[in-house]
Structure 1
Amino acid sequence: MTTATVMRFTAIPMGMLATAGLLLVMATLIQTDYVAMEPPESVTIGKIVMPEAEIIVDYEPPLARPEAPPAPPEMPLMSRKIQIDPAAPTGTGVQFADPVDDTLSVGLVQPGDYLPIVKVAPQYPRTAIRRGLEGEVVVSFTVTRTGATRDIAVISAHTLDGNPTSVFNSAAIKAAERFKYKPRIENGAPLEVHGVQNRFIFELAQ
């Protein structure tokens, strides 16, 4: 007999035995008495009371308004008196009085404060000479970090008898443009100074 024939005759009995075993197991399961399990009793949970929430708001205290800085001291008002002799030939006979720096006394100058170095006198306008006008012009400007002047503006301009006039304005502005200062020094660094004023007085020599 060949091997294949032997395996064929062996497989049939083994299959029958496996089938009989399965039928026996099924019969056993059918005959088993199952006891129904009752569900567990429900547990009653008592009433839950939540405590009232306390809301705490943490307010930051209002910021205090900083104190206003002290008002800057009034800027010194420089004066330059210009006199001219109308009888002298054109371009001669001009006399320049020394600057009148009454408000810039030695006691008020602080170390590091700005100081005038060059103050150029304005040229007396010819129109004012022909009309015999005398006047006063006050200009305001900024002393820069380099000691130059900028933002020059006329604050007031009038004749010496009190009448408004602009005949001296251009001469006063051109002169102020050529002023030179020792700049203000604070903590070793130069600072700009705003609102510096200078008064020019134009008078004809008597």
Structure 2
Amino acid sequence: MDRAYPPIASTVFFPPQLLAGYAKGLAFAAMMTLGLIFLMSRLIASDLEAPVVDGLPSIQPVHIEDKKVVTQKDEPPVKPQIPPLQPTTTPEEIPPTEVGTAITIRAPVPSSDTTLTVTRDPVPVYKPLPRYPNAAARRGIEGYVVVEFTVTKTGAVRDARVVGGFDSAGNPTRVFNRSALAAAERFKYQPQMADGEPVERYGVRNRITYKMAD
């Protein structure tokens, strides 16, 4: 048997809600398109220029000074100055114990053994010149010193001492004492001989004169 079916309703392909959504979408798209067209027209209408870029900083010219090569010439050596004349000093023997160079030969005494005996005073062999003191040279002082010492059996000087020191005017001074003692201690003698044997001689005096060079 045939079944009875309800009548088929009319099919609606575009419901009203869908049409309303399409309409809103088209309207929005149209507005966006118009906005973009307006914006582009404004951009075209405006005369845009490229931004001005500041120029690069100018480079200042570098100035290089010309360097001059200076050649120094070697100066000739300075001639040494001639030192001034040094003051002179003179050691000399003085009385009362002035020694001489005489040699005494005694006659032999008659005997079975004949001998020759020799007696003599100390004989100077070496007397170095004393150094003129700087203090006396600066002040122009002249004078002399008397030293006394013992001549040993070997001819050396021992126990040297200053008896007195004086300037050229006869006034006592000690400016020459140290120099005179240093010189006297370096004196050399042939020792005193007594009966052919060397002996010591005490109280030998020596006068050392200090005089400025002319």
Corresponding residue for residue 148 of structure 2? 140
The match for 1:168 is: 176
TM-score between both structures, scaled by the size of structure 1: 0.50
Cα pair distance change 1:141/1:104, threshold 3 Å: closer
- Provide the C-alpha distance between the structure 1 equivalents of 2:189 and 2:140, rounded to a whole number of angstroms: 33
Looking at CA atoms only, which structure, 1 or 2, has the larger radius of gyration? 2
Aligned residue for 1:156, secondary structure, equals: strand
**Consecutive unaligned residues in structure 2, runs of 5 or more:** 1-81, 105-118
Distance 1:116 1:134, change over 3 A: same
SS at match of 2:135: helix
Change (3 A) 1:98 1:162: closer
The answer to whether 1:127 aligns with 2:135 is yes
Residue 56 of structure 2 is matched in structure 1 by none
Structure 2 residue 123 is matched with structure 1 residue 115: yes
- 8 Å Cα contact 2:123-2:189 kept in structure 1: yes
2:201 pairs with 1:193: yes
Call closer, same or farther: CA 1:156–1:100 in 2, change over 3 Å.
closer
For structure 1, the 5+ residue unaligned runs are 1-87
Amino acid paired to 1:185:
M
Report the alpha carbon displacement of residue 97 of structure 1 after superposing the two structures with TM: 5.5
Structure 1 consecutive aligned stretches of length 4 or more whose deviation exceeds 6 Å = none
Indicate the residue corresponding to 1:71 in structure 2. none
- Count of aligned pairs between the two proteins: 117
Q: Quote how far apart the aligned CAs of 1:187 are.
A: 2.6
Q: Report the counterpart of residue 83 of structure 2 in structure 1.
A: 89
- Partner residue of 2:17? none
Closer, same or farther: CA 167–101 of 1 in aligned 2, 3 Å:
closer
Question: 1:184 is matched by which residue type in structure 2?
Answer: Q
Compute the RMSD of aligned alpha carbons.
Answer: 2.5
Q: Report the alpha carbon displacement of residue 98 of structure 1 after superposing the two structures with TM.
A: 8.2
SS in 2 for 1:161: coil
SS at match of 1:120: coil
CA distance in 2, matches of 1:197, 1:178: 14
The DSSP-based 3-state class of the residue aligned with 1:121 is coil
1:202 is the counterpart of 2:210:
yes
Task: Kindly provide the CA deviation profile for residues 120-153 of structure 1, in whole angstroms up to 9, marking residues without a partner as x.
Answer: 1100000100111111100000000100001111
1:152-184 CA deviation, whole Å, 9 max, x = no partner?
A: 110010111111110100000000000000001
1:122 match: secondary structure: coil
Question: 1:14-65: CA deviations, max 9, x gaps?
Answer: xxxxxxxxxxxxxxxxxxxxxxxxxxxxxxxxxxxxxxxxxxxxxxxxxxxx
Q: How does 1:1-206 map to 2 (within 5 A)?
A: 89=83, 93-95=86-88, 99=92, 104=99, 110=104, 111-206=119-214
SS in structure 2 at match of 1:158: strand
What amino acid does structure 2 have at the position aligned with 1:196? V
Measured in 2, the distance between the counterparts of 1:167 and 1:124 equals: 10
